[in-house]
A and B are shown apart, each in its own frame.
Chain A
Amino acid sequence: MTLINSKTQLYTRQGLWSLFLMCAFPFHFWTLLLAFRDLSWLIDRSNLWDAISVASYGMIFAFAESLLVFLIAIILGFLVSKYWDSRYRIALISSLILITALWAIASQLFALLSISLPIWLIIFFVQQSHPLRALYVVSLLLVASTVLIPTYLILKSDKALQVILGFIDRITLLAAFYLLFDVIGLIIVIIRNV
């Protein structure tokens, strides 16, 4: 295991590409999912072409958001010790982005599927002297643990690192397809605006 390597450059070109695709994946996935969900009312509102166009703009906006998060991720990468192999940097930042995106998706799913907290949990919070503060503390612990545990595993276990890198490989392949959708979306947006 080569955790420390003083000669390692911060990012490799391949690493940056993988990181960008990891950023693009959750935003494009979620946009496409909701765009499909919106198709019926948009067709009802106007027509299929408009519905596809709304999704096209959505893909462009998702690309812009991916780019922004990618830039933030690169900056975050500088906080990771430069003595660590760039693979660790990519694995750590990618998992951080993915986990926070998953939490964002989970919070939206709660709203979409009208899920509420179990009654026993609500009672637990209500019984506290500061229910809202207790809710925030529990949420923070939950989110922090889902970030810290994978981080620890990546740093301590070569096997965990390989699993994460393998996962990134698979996801980036899928995310590359999303970029193809971006191109199609861009063409549609251009057609509509000329």
Chain B
Amino acid sequence: MKNQLNRRDFLKLASLMPLSFATPRFLKKLGNSQALQNGRKNVIVVVFDAFSAYNISLYGYKRETTPNLAKIAKRAIVYHNHFAGSNFTTSGTASLLTGTLPWTHRALLPNGMVAKPFVTRNFFHAFQNYYRVAYTHNSWAYTLLKQFHDQMDQLVPREKLLLGSYNGLIETLFKNDEDIASVSWARTIKIQDGGYAYSLFLSNLYKVLEEGKVANLKPMFPRGLPTSQTDIGFLLEDAVDWLGNLVTDIPQPFFGYFHFLPPHFPYNTSLEFYNRFDGDGYKPLSKPVDIFATHMINADALKYRREYDEFILYVDKEFGRFFNALEASGLLENSWVVLTSDHGEMFERGLIGHMDTLYQPVIRVPLFIFEPGRKDGIDIHTPTSAIDLLPTLTHMTGQTMPDWAEGVILPPFLDANPDPNRNVYAVSADKNDPKAALTQASTTLIKGRYKLLYYFGYPDFGVNELVKLYDIESDPDELVDLYNSKQEIVAELLSELKSKLDEVNKPYL
């Protein structure tokens, strides 16, 4: 019996080989479209760290920092008064991901973690019938994502998008204590700006090795490569390219959370935008010095602001590129795309950065929602909060809306008109024991046109209680404190805020 393949049979079979390569991909796409036909669209949440709405030209900033966003926003729902849950990464990101405020999720300390119940009360749990994937450059956000790891299908290691760093070894060796091990490693081996490190000899060798690895990229970043300061650097271009490929390769429907570090300090923009605003004559408003002021030299604030604005240009360009890639791949038609931030940044009142205070530049952040298939834009001016994203996206994708979420469904997705007098809070208590009642915190209540700031427990700054009131509609720059002239409103809002504090403190008393 002759059962051997002859040459002709072999060639016939060989001609089928390309089909065998294409089949799995085709079937995956078929599976995807079936899933999408069930109405379950993908969700892509892109977070740019420390991205203040105040510095975005689309929101009225005098420097043109976001030309690409301005173009694509014509197809987006743009939220003009959107507030982060806090003023720094840990608390702000935890609020966004859990849909609860810091006084509830308790990720209060820098690099802290959420309270145990919230390990299963977050976006990843809410989208459990989706493919869930997350990535962040930010080590503090990564601490939170690691907490939610069991709720995800894929947590991409932070190292993935960091340029040829040796941190991977440290992060692998000390995976349960990555942040502090990395900080110590950085202090040991990386020669700081001034030229010092714990290590006397190896730090010099390490510097030579590192510089060799990124030497070809240096001319493209005159201020240095974008970095989280504990790594050798990263490129947002790489992150965007990687993300573009990832979202076309993973199973659909998916929920993806992607948290990139720019425009967070250090503001190392690319050569293309370097010195773009140098000598442009822009003069920010002069504002009263705050009690937490640390940077009294105005020239420093101006310089940092300019560098930050130039870094935003880099973010704007790369997000635009990502958006175009989504559109080209057809994913935009089947995906909810959200652009937002965990907190803002400020360069005024003797403050540079984003700790302690809750002025608008630090808590007012961008929110753009690109609805699948939307062709025209909508502007929403009602105050909204980071905690609203979770209920909104679960509602819009047909997921069960969690009963523990503290936010509301964002306009225009709510059938009823939004409540203009809704209470929007932001909280920062980065020195407060997460397991104790709040005794030292910066809090704010935004209601309608008024914003009440209430700081308490800062004896080092000479105040045990400090209250300020601003009319953010007529005075968006918070120049005039209405504490003395609007005593009734102060009393009403303060009473509401204190009642809320009593309520959230109750379990910890």
The residues of A with any CB-CB pair to B shorter than 8 Å are 26-27, 30-31, 34-35, 38, 42, 45-47, 50, 53-58, 61-62, 65, 68-69, 100-101, 104-105, 107-108, 110-112, 114, 189, 192-194
* Interface stretch of the complex, out of B25-33, B195-203, B273-281, B487-495: B195-203
21 A-B pairs (CB sep. < 8 Å): A27-B199, A31-B188, A31-B199, A34-B198, A42-B183, A46-B109, A54-B180, A57-B185, A61-B185, A62-B198, A65-B199, A68-B202, A101-B201, A104-B201, A108-B195, A108-B197, A110-B195, A112-B195, A112-B196, A192-B180, A194-B176
Which of chain B's residues have a CB closer than 8 A to the CB of A114? Answer: 194
Which of chain B's residues have a CB closer than 8 A to the CB of A65? Answer: 199-202
Q: A38-B187, A61-B184, A104-B201 are in contact. Are A111 and B176 (CB under 8 A)?
A: no
Interface residues of B in 169-215 (CB under 8 A from A): 174-177, 180-181, 183-185, 187-189, 194-202, 204
The residue that B177 contacts in the complex, of A53, A62, A100, with Cβ under 8 A, is: A53
Nearest residue (CB) in B for A72 is: B201
Which of chain A's residues have a CB closer than 8 A to the CB of B188? Answer: 31, 57-58, 61-62
Which of chain A's residues have a CB closer than 8 A to the CB of B189? Answer: 61
A40 to chain B, nearest CB (A): 13
B228 to chain A, nearest CB (A): 13
Docked-complex contact A193 and B200, CB < 8 angstroms: no
B104: CB under 8 A from chain A? no
Docked-complex contact A53 and B201, CB < 8 angstroms: no
Which of chain A's residues have a CB closer than 8 A to the CB of B177? Answer: 53, 189, 192-193
Instruction: Choose among B177, B198, B199, B201 the residue with the greatest number of A CB atoms under 10 Å from its CB.
Output: B198
Docked-complex contact A61 and B199, CB < 8 angstroms: yes
Which of chain B's residues have a CB closer than 8 A to the CB of A100? Answer: 201
The residue that A101 contacts in the complex, of B109, B110, B174, B200, with Cβ under 8 A, is: B200
Which of chain A's residues have a CB closer than 8 A to the CB of B202? Answer: 65, 68
Which of chain B's residues have a CB closer than 8 A to the CB of A30? Answer: 198, 200
B111: CB under 8 A from chain A? yes
Nearest residue (CB) in B for A29 is: B200
The residue that A27 contacts in the complex, of B110, B174, B200, with Cβ under 8 A, is: B200
The residue that B110 contacts in the complex, of A38, A46, A57, A189, with Cβ under 8 A, is: A46
Which of chain B's residues have a CB closer than 8 A to the CB of A192? Answer: 174, 176-177, 180
Q: How far is the CA of A42 from the CA of B111 in the complex (A)?
A: 12
How many chain B residues have a CB neighbour from A under 8 Å?
Answer: 25
Which of chain B's residues have a CB closer than 8 A to the CB of A35? Answer: 187, 198
Nearest residue (CB) in A for B112 is: A46
Which of chain A's residues have a CB closer than 8 A to the CB of B180? Answer: 50, 53-54, 57, 192
Instruction: Choose among A27, A35, A46 the residue with the greatest number of B CB atoms under 10 Å from its CB.
Output: A46
Known: A34-B197, A58-B198. 13 other contacts (CB 8 A): A46-B111, A54-B184, A57-B180, A57-B184, A65-B202, A101-B200, A105-B200, A107-B195, A108-B200, A110-B195, A112-B196, A114-B194, A193-B175
Which of chain A's residues have a CB closer than 8 A to the CB of B175? Answer: 193
Nearest residue (CB) in B for A38 is: B187
Docked-complex contact B110 and A62, CB < 8 angstroms: no
Which of chain B's residues have a CB closer than 8 A to the CB of A108? Answer: 195-197, 200
Docked-complex contact A58 and B110, CB < 8 angstroms: no
B458 to chain A, nearest CB (A): 14
A171 to chain B, nearest CB (A): 16
Q: A45-B110, A57-B185 are in contact. Are A34 and B174 (CB under 8 A)?
A: no
B506 to chain A, nearest CB (A): 25
Which of chain B's residues have a CB closer than 8 A to the CB of A112? Answer: 194-196
Q: A50-B180, A193-B177 are in contact. Are A34 and B187 (CB under 8 A)?
A: yes
Docked-complex contact A58 and B197, CB < 8 angstroms: no
Q: How far is the CA of A13 from the CA of B189 in the complex (A)?
A: 31
A56 to chain B, nearest CB (A): 8
A42 to chain B, nearest CB (A): 8
